[in-house]
Amino acid sequence: MVNGRVMDCFAGIDIGSTTAKAILVDGDSRIVGRSVQRSGYDFAAAADRVITEALESAGRKRSDIKRVVSTGYGRRNVEFADEQRTEILCHAKGVNFYFPEPVTVVDIGGQDNKVIHLGADGERLGFTMNRKCAAGTGAFIEEIAYRLDLPLEKLNEMAENAAGEVKIGSFCTVFSCTEILGMARRGVPVDDIIKGVFRSVVKRVAEMDALDGKVVMTGGVVDHNPIVARMLRELLEHEVEVPPDPQAIGALGAALIAREL
């Protein structure tokens, strides 16, 4: 106890292929700490970094953590985790926290996409993950930004300002890059290209599975590029919601699971 406050907390660590996330919740499921950083190549070190930063933001110490659940691509690298859960379960849990109703979760991650169908109590009715290819994921957007030498944080604004929009025809990241470089060479405005890139991401996701009912989007891509949610809304012609802090939703789910264990 500090000043009469119970400092106990529960940690969820989501080590994605691109970013590592940590969320701390207290015994009443209130979020008390958070951190998001690049995963880098050393996942164990990334886990240490995010947990340290999350504890700092929460004003808590390591010993205040009662339980840790890790998730994500690098979940096995989190040495201090008590349990591991898949990102499918953790995303389901995190989304159900904000939307306790039947929803379809669309997560666009760094390296893969997921569609998860949830029932009213957050039970998983089925899920799909994208195939081996990175087209349609965060990695695809990063690759294009890199090829066109554009800062990632500018992309959303560029797409919002675009006067037109190009159509990207290829499935594959490598083919799409070639297609885009061809457009750039022909002098197509770069804003129009970026808007087309986002549209292609949305289309890839929409063809993964049936996106019925209320759709909730999560992941880093929609966090940094809200235009993606709007485009999916236009495509599906129905509700698409984004929870607070959509990038850390898996870590939140893991923390909530840690609290319940």
Partner 1 sequence: MAEIKKLETARLMKKVMADHFYEIDAACKSGEPKVAWCTSVGPAELLRAMGFVVYFPENHAAILGASRAANDCIPAANAIGYSPEICSYLTADIGAYLKGFTPLSKIYDGIESIPKPDVLVYNTNQCRDVKDWFEWYGREWKVPCYGIESFVNVGEVTKDHVDSIAGQMKQLAKKITEATGNKLDEDKLKETVRLSRRCSDLWRDVLEMAANIPSPLTFFDGTIHMGPAVVMRGTQVAVDYYETLLKELQTWVDQGIAAVEGERHRIYWEGMPIWGKLRENAKLFLDLKTCVVASTYCNSWIFSAFDPDDPWNSMARAYTELFIVRDDDYKEDYYKRMLEIFKFDGIIFHDAKTCPNNSNCRYGLPQRFSKETGIPFITIDGDLNDLRCYSEEQAITKIEAFIEQLDG
Cα–Cα dist 90/97, whole Å? 11
| 112 scored as a contact of partner 1 (CB under 8 A) | yes
DSSP per-residue codes, 111-132: S-EEEEEE-TTS-EEEEEE--S
Taking CB under 8 A as the rule, does residue 38 contact partner 1? no
Please list every residue from 46 through 105 that binds partner 1, using CB under 8 A.
Answer: 73, 85-89
In whole angstroms, the minimum distance from the beta carbon of 130 to partner 1 comes to 9
Q: CA 63 to CA 34: how far, in whole Å? A: 17
DSSP codes joined into one string, 56-92: HHHT--GGGEEEEEEESTTGGG-TT-SEE--HHHHHH
Considering beta carbons, is residue 123 or 153 the nearer one to partner 1? 123
Among 57, 128, 156, 170, binds partner 1 (CB under 8 A): 128
The two structure tokens encoding residue 44: 């164990």
Total residues belonging to the chain:
261
Residue from 27, 40, 100, 126 binding partner 1 (CB under 8 A)? 126
Are residues 119 and 100 in contact, defined by beta-carbon separation less than 8 angstroms? no
Positive or negative CA dihedral for 114, 116, 122, 126? Answer: negative
Residue 170 CB, nearest distance to partner 1 (Å)?
A: 17
Residue 129 lies near partner 1 (rule: CB under 8 A)? yes
Q: Using the rule CB under 8 A, give the single segment among 6-14, 43-51, 128-136, 220-228 that binds partner 1.
A: 128-136
State which residue, 33 or 253, has the beta carbon closest to partner 1: 253
Phi, psi of 213, deg, nearest 5: 65, -155
6 binds partner 1 (CB under 8 A): no
User: Which stretch, 1-9, 119-127, 181-189, 226-234, contacts partner 1 (CB under 8 A)?
Assistant: 119-127
Residue range at the interface with partner 1 (CB under 8 A); choices 29-37, 120-128, 162-170, 171-179: 120-128
Q: Which residues bind partner 1 (CB under 8 A)?
A: 73, 85-89, 112, 123-129, 131-132
